[in-house]
Structures are given as structure tokens and as C-alpha cells.
Structure 1
């Protein structure tokens, strides 16, 4: 299971990941560390992790320990675990003297993050399940906290995510989502992207009957919003502060490593690449993905050659093209590069050789030959083609092309 999640993180090109309830039972292996270690197999130990645990409700219940987990690519994101804090003052409800009356609230986790030239605080939530007591008190406390903080003259950016347990198909809970927008005068200090940008909007949800298993309304909600085996996929939300409007667009235009541009969703609920039935055996929540524009900090040598580059290709080898087409890669770095989860694609952007353990690794200065082995990307023998090298974090690292016809056995050299 952990390898499946690690692969999803790589395929989605994520740099910062929050996980809620990754360790539901005492005595089980640490799943967060397993996912981190799986990511680092092909990422030169770039991935880091941190986690916290809060006891709530009945401490003797094996499900009563709450975990928040955090994974980040240290080449892209800076997180100092010593600066993370549990917002225990937001635990609710309380007596007039300020003491807790119940243990049911899960304290939010606040994490300062730096990525490129963008700094923000990430608040991870896990509100009371089922919308029952004391969820309304939780929302009120969080709304007040955000209003005070984000109404300051120069507020720090804020992103709120996690398992809110707030269903947009229920009237009372739609009211709580509106509170999480944090009204302030004629404005809102937060945008709840999952019901303001991703359809159905909050207003459209008002016109839909509540989701029930087998209902007509359930049939209208796509898999990306609703799992027929569990309604929990309606409960995970993302909100960003109004101050982040300059770095969020939907869709967002991104600049790739080769200086080309691409349009991608600014916010989306990722569709699993497995069947709904299989996905339910892994989790009853779908990943929500947010993309923000950031700029690198510091001097960048735009002429520096990537660590791994395409140096040659044989599109039309002697024998069976499907098995023996070749792409030659050279490691320009001083460390060994494991090729697992790198991809070699073409100009379509939809067909790839996904490299695996059989493709091995490239030592410092070494040129390795990757053969097709029946993978579904093919190199054109007529009219030329483009070859693209993509790293495990979904970044385009190198791109080479040829324009002449590929005669049998001809090797195109690019350096």
C-alpha cells in the first residue's frame, strides 16, 4: 500500500503532502516513514517527514490516537519541524473559565512552509466525524482564529486543508463551510476551493438532495467527488487566504524545465488509476491537489547541464523495434542516479517508458542504454521525433529531437 501512495505522489509531481490518520492502530509499522522511504529509493534521500499524535475521546480505544503526517521534498520545500505547533487553544468546547469540557476536538497543526520565494503557514485539520457535537464549536473557534490573524494589515499567507468532515450536501454543514470562508465586512478572508472552484459549487450543492448510497443524486457525482462505497470523499477540503490570490489560478499556466508552458488545474481532486473497488481497499479519501506559482530563490545557472541527459537514440534497431529501441542517457553528476521511476516520453506527452529496477542505475559520468522492452512509447522511423526525459518528481529534465528518417541501425547522437 505504501508503495502505491509513493508512486501516486511521484506521478502527481507533488512537493509537499499532508496525511491524516496514517497510523490508526497501535503497534503497526509507521506508514508515513514507509512512504518516505519508498520515495527516497529513487530520490537520493530528498524526502523528509514529520508527524504528531494527539490523544482524544477514549484513550483506550485503538482508534483514539490522531495522527497528522507531513512529507516534503527538501530540494523544493523548507520545513523546520521545530517550528510546527499544535493549536491546542482551539480545542473546543470549553467552560467559561476556559477549561475543556470534552476531549473530542482534534487540535489543528500549524506548519510554517517556504518554497521558492513563497512563504505560508499550512493548517491541517481533522474535525469531528459525522458533523455532530462538537464540530460547530470547532468551526467557530477556527473561524475566530483566522479572522483575527488574516485581518491584520500584512497577514502571513494561510492554507487550510485536511479531513474537515463537513459534507456540502447537508444544509447545516454548508453553513459551516460558509463560516470557514471567514466573512469580514463585505469580503471573505478565505476561499474554500473545493466548493468555490471545483463543481458543484456550494450554491449548486444547495439544489441537490443529500447523497445517499444508491440515490439518484449519488449517480450524478463523478468518482472524483464520490466513492460509491464511502461518502468520506466529500469531506476533504482546501481553503486559501485571500492574500494568495496572486499565486493561484484555475487553470494555472506553468513553465516547464524546457521553457515551454502548460495549463494545469490549480485545484483538483485526483482520479485514482485503479478501479473504485480497488481504491476503497486502500483508503476512503481521494487526494486533493493544489498548485501554486512560486519562483526559485537565489542565482540560477540557466546554462548548467542537467545531472542526467539524453545523448543518443536508436529508433530503428536491427530486429524488433518494440523490444529493442534505444535511448542513451549520461550521468553528468558525481553521484549514482537510480533510474527507477524516471520516464522517457515523446512529443505527445501521453506515452512513456516508465523505468524500473531492470533499467538499473547510472554511475558518475556513465552512459547507460535504456531499451524499450515492449513499453508503449515508440520512436518514429519516418519524419523524426522528440524524446523527453522526466524525473520522478514529474519535472522535464532534458529534451532532444531528430528530423531525419531513422534507417535500420542508425544511432542519432545529440552531444
Structure 2
């Protein structure tokens, strides 16, 4: 074995290079987004996402507690919601611990570029916590153990996190939270406002450090501002949402807006509460909006999409629906390799023979498509190996010809998978008419 001691100059250079690499990684963080031109963010209350492994945390009981099999089924359904939204950053609410989130990521979201970020909270009664799944490694990840005040009540936020990112030339800070329950209870007004006061303090510090803010999670409260109200005009008993949107400073420059205002009012509901325990959904009083994504006004023009997809039964999976926001990253260049640019899910004739997908090479070099494939939410695939080489800037179209995966006519999410099993690109679309081509971005 050669000794580096014989060449001390070489050893010093290697040590400097290693230190530089560590510094660069810590300053910028890894970015595993398949599409660098956008940033998609989701908040999702998972309703007790436990792993069923003893000893389990918290005192409340629920159907899948103490059962690894039933807990795994619940976790798989949560993963399906995440896959459908294909977010780059997910704020997860009501998770048990890091072990549970690691299991979600490893067993049900493998190959999608996520890393788990988790700090233990202080809710010992429910055992619930919040966590981040993210394709972009944060520069800072922490929680705020301070306290806020409203009236004579001093209160902390047992379930919160914050993370900072630099994306291109934009500094973004995310605060994830889960506030005290019972939106309509007057006795919770001051405690929840005290929690909001703490979040305002943390947000103001981040704003003063030059970050554009995104504050999201289960606020357990309504937004009473005209234009933001949910589909049944639920009105809050607190000032929680108005406090956080204004950060309590009276300075318009640091204000945030509720992304829900960009969702049609009829679709503005994020949670189901079975008030009379009859297992029926009474939409006019049991579906409300208590989960929110608040966004800095400085990011308003970058918002491409806001959605509250209602694609699962809240009585069977989780009693909350996800909120999804997609932002345009104006100062980013496309650094991916291949993109899905068009799909034909409903061709004239037999779908099994004539469905097509078109791939574009956006890199600067030719790529051999041997081992590449397309995959839908059910896990079925099309092989792209028959397409051979694809040159820079070129497009190639694959026809189904009996392959197992179906481009569902009522909507689906299609992933582009490289030979290592990593998701390189993903496209989600809704219902399509016959001979309608799904074009990327539509």
C-alpha cells in the first residue's frame, strides 16, 4: 500500500478538496427533483401513521394500532396519495416517529428521491409528530421549542418544524405545524393564538434572514378572510390565520396569502369530521378547511397550480385531504436527462395496442434507453428498451403493443424510471377524451 505521508503536499490537497466538498454540500444541499423547473409542495395529515411495532407511542387507540399488518395497509394508502401528487417536499402530520416515516419512504416510496427529516416533538399524549419528506436537502432543519402568548395564556407548539433551502437564487423557508384541535371551541382560542404567536416569531426571524416563507400544516382552524373561506363559509373563533398571514408586524412586505384562494370554492375542504359518528359524510357541515399552505407574496407570481385532490374516502384512509402547490422556479435551468412530453391514453381503437408515450432527451448527450421504463401508480410498466439510442434534443414515441401498463382514461401518474430504478420524471393527468393528447404542462 502506498503511503500518503511520502507526499505530504498531495495529502494536504486531498484534505482541502474533501473539506470543500463537505462545505459545498452543506451550503447548497443535494437536489434530487426530477424536474428542476418546478417545486411542488404538499401538506398531508396522515391520521395516525404508525408502524404497528411495539412499544407504540401515545395513548389514543385506533383500528390499526398494535397491528403491523393493518398499519402497513394504512401506510401504503398514505404512500399512494403522495405518489399521486408527486411532490418534491411533503409536510407529514400525525406521524408516530422517525422509524415510521423511514418505513414509509423505504417500503412504499423507494426510488423517488426522498430523504426523511424528523425531530422528536413533545406531544406525549397523542404521540403524534410532524416530519418532512424532501427531494431537496435543507440547509437548516430544526424545531422551535419556544413559547408564544395570547392574553394571559403562554403556550408552545408541540408539533412543529422549520427548514431552509436555497433553490437557484431563491431562499425559501418552510415551517410545518400541527396546532391544537377543536376549531370551534372557545376554550382553545387563546392557546391556539399563543401557538400562532410563536410561529410568527420564528417566521419573522427567517424573513429577516432573507427567506421567502411557506407555512403549512394542520392549523385546526378556519380562514375567515373573504375569498379564502371554505365551501360552507366556516368562520373561526380565533385570529390564528390572520395573525400568521400578517406575521403580527403590520408590515405588508412580509405578508403571506392562503393558496386556497386559488382553488374553486366548491372544492375548498381538507378535512372530514364525523360529528354524529354515523359513518355518513354530511358535506354541508362535516367537510371543512383546516389544513392550509400560506405562501409569501413574493412567490405569488410563481404559483402554477393549487389543488386539494379529493381522491380517497376520508372514512377509510385518512380523514384529511392533501393540499398541493406547484411553484415555477424561474431561475432554474432544466438539468434533467429525459422528460415525458406527451401521452395518448385514449386512442381510437384498442387501448392495449395503440396507447403511446413520447420521451424527449433534454441532456447534451445521446442516451441508450435500454433498461429504461415507464411505470404507473399500480406498479405496472412499459419497457423503453426497444427505442434504442435517443440523441440530444430528439423525441421518441413508444406504442403500448400489449405491454402491461395501461394509461388510464380517467387519469393517472406516470413515472419515467432509469436503469438504476430512480424516478427521473413524472407526469400526472386527469380524465381524457378519445384521441386527446396529454401535453406536458397541460
TM range (shorter): 0.5 to 0.7
Encode CA deviations 1:101-136: one digit per residue, 9 max, x unaligned: 77x632531101233443301001111122515212
Distance (whole Å) between structure 2 residues aligned to residue 17 and residue 146 of structure 1: 19
Matched, 1:67 2:129: yes
Q: Secondary structure of 1:291's match?
A: strand
Which residue of the partner structure matches residue 4 of structure 1?
77
Distance (whole Å) between structure 2 residues aligned to residue 328 and residue 268 of structure 1: 25
TM-score by length of 2: 0.54
Segments of structure 1 that go 5 or more residues without pairing to the other structure are 206-210, 253-264, 342-353, 379-387, 397-415
TM-score by length of 1: 0.57
Which residue of the partner structure matches residue 208 of structure 1?
none
Which residue of the partner structure matches residue 286 of structure 1?
321
Partner residue of 2:117 out of 36, 42, 50: 50
Contact 1:78 1:114 in 2 (8 A): no
Higher relative contact order (CA 8 A, sep 6+): 2
Which residue of the partner structure matches residue 172 of structure 1?
237
Within 5 Å, give how 1:241-260 maps onto structure 2: 241-248=296-303, 252=304
Partner residue of 2:138 out of 54, 57, 79: 79
Partner residue of 1:146 out of 188, 200, 203: 203
Partner residue of 1:110 out of 131, 149, 162: 162
Which residue of the partner structure matches residue 269 of structure 1?
308
Matched, 1:33 2:103: yes
Partner residue of 1:15 out of 88, 96, 120: 88
Encode CA deviations 1:340-384: one digit per residue, 9 max, x unaligned: 32xxxxxxxxxxxx7744646859959997434694669xxxxxx
Which residue of the partner structure matches residue 180 of structure 2?
128
Task: Note the C-alpha offset of 1:17.
Answer: 0.9
Question: How has the CA–CA distance of structure 1 residues 334 and 66 changed in structure 2, closer, same or farther, with 3 Å as cutoff?
Answer: same
Encode CA deviations 1:260-314: one digit per residue, 9 max, x unaligned: xxxxx3x222221x3xxx332211111011111104646x57xx9738899xxxx
Matched, 1:306 2:338: yes
User: What is the root-mean-square deviation in Å for CA atoms of aligned residues?
Assistant: 4.7
Contact 2:372 2:385 in 1 (8 A): yes
Question: How has the CA–CA distance of structure 1 residues 5 and 335 changed in structure 2, closer, same or farther, with 3 Å as cutoff?
Answer: farther
Length, aligned pairs only: 304
Distance (whole Å) between structure 2 residues aligned to residue 126 and residue 305 of structure 1: 38
Name whichever of 163-172 and 11-20 sits farther off.
163-172
Distance (whole Å) between structure 1 residues aligned to residue 265 and residue 297 of structure 2: 21
Task: Note the C-alpha offset of 1:70.
Answer: 1.2
Encode CA deviations 1:32-87: one digit per residue, 9 max, x unaligned: 5324542225x4xx22222222123xx4x4x2x332221123xxx3434xx20111
Question: How has the CA–CA distance of structure 1 residues 11 and 328 changed in structure 2, closer, same or farther, with 3 Å as cutoff?
Answer: closer
Contact 1:192 1:237 in 2 (8 A): no
Segments of structure 2 that go 5 or more residues without pairing to the other structure are 1-73, 224-233, 360-365, 391-397, 417-422, 429-442
Which residue of the partner structure matches residue 405 of structure 1?
none
Task: Note the C-alpha offset of 1:390.
Answer: 6.0
